[in-house]
Amino acid sequence: MHPVDSPQEAAFRAEARAFLEANAEPLPPWVVAPSAIVAEWTPDEEERKLDEARRWQRRKFDEGWAGIAWPRRYGGRGGTLIEQLIFSEEEAGFDVPSDALIIGTGWCGPAVLEHGTDEQRDRFLRPLLRGDEVWCQLFSEPAAGSDLAGLGTRAVRDGAQWRITGQKVWTTFAHRSDWGLLIARHDPDLPKHRGLTAFIVDMKAPGITARPLRQMTGSANFNEVFFDDVVVADAYRLGAVGDGWRVVISTFMWERLSLVYGSDRVLEALGALIAERGRATDPVVRDRYAAIYATGEALRFTGLRMMTAVSRGAMPGPEGSIVKLLATSMLEAAHTMALDLFDAVGTLAAEVAPWHGEWHAAFLGMPGLRIGGGTDQIQRNIIGERVLGLPSEPRPDRSVPWGQIPRGER
């Protein structure tokens, strides 16, 4: 029994573990990367990984283990958000290919569930949850990353449809996706947070071009995506006109919460590596590991606070930023310590390194995790202002219409 489980939650955890043990193998001891953002794949691996993820998602769907907290109407289990967290914690210990679909099932799906119409939920949620359709998230732009509200992709109303023009970047699996969750600017004359609207976009529509971006890890899972007068029906607008920032915030909440899953695995693997390298009695190593472990525990319990707030119908406050900052701090410290423990072996290429190159690949992927979903600096600003009560940074653009801000200051 987990130390914070109620009797009902303990029973659910046991049932979930029984399903996983009957249908999957335990995670190999050398697997340490906790998410698709870190554990990136080469182009040759993508198709195989995506096919494996679809098969696993369909098995969960068919046996009632997909969308634990989603309504049964959309193929979910109708359970609680705490049960969803429990299943994700247990699943993280098994060798199952869930990463390839996490953007749809973990981030975009909940956004459609929260903000979509009944028609949108009926059309999109079941095939998304079953793994039949792959989704991507079209938020960041070349000039709008940390300051996402400064995005410039335009959505112009044209009767019963919209015309989208602009560019997105760092879009995971855009070249493999069927649908995308897009945020665009519908009104440049409003303050920038208010002039945004969300859309569900067919990634095969005319005028969309996705170009994979190769990174230093050798992977090309990220893309730059171009929209050239792409037509989107108003029926595929997600939420009200001008509600785009609310969609962004709720999507980020689920994205940040997913960082909690698998953190225990990284800590266990790092402990095993310390023992393997014969450093378990080294006081400096022990002190360093203890600090990383404490950060991991803070991450886990802050994640539980987030989930508890959501389960009570409240929107978490700065807990999301705290989770994001704790996760990136812990993972960077863990992966850096691992390469330090390897000594000269840490300079090897990932494909010939010990532990199947997992520590090396995760270390190289960490910069992306610290940037995606809001940089560490942005999270510190939020925590400073909303938790510590520090004065906010000067932000004249908060009340100035987007179209009136000089281009060089946007």
**Would you call 13 helix, strand, or coil by DSSP?**
helix
Tell me, rounded to whole angstroms, the distance of Cα 224 from its chain centroid: 18
Do residues 153 and 161 touch, judged by C-beta distance below 8 A? Answer: no
Q: Residue 112 and residue 118: Cα distance in Å, rounded?
A: 10
Dist CA 309 CA 317 (whole Å): 9
Q: Are 69 and 79 in contact (CB under 8 A)?
A: yes
Q: Tell me how far apart the alpha carbons of residues 334 and 175 are, in angstroms, rounded to a whole number.
A: 32
In 3D, which of 150, 148, 146 has the Cα closest to residue 191? Answer: 150
Question: How far is 351 from 338, CA to CA, in rounded Å?
Answer: 16
Angle at which helix 319-342 crosses helix 263-276, to 10 degrees, equals: 20
Q: Give catalytic residues, as residue numbers.
A: 255
A 10 A CB-CB count for 7 gives 8
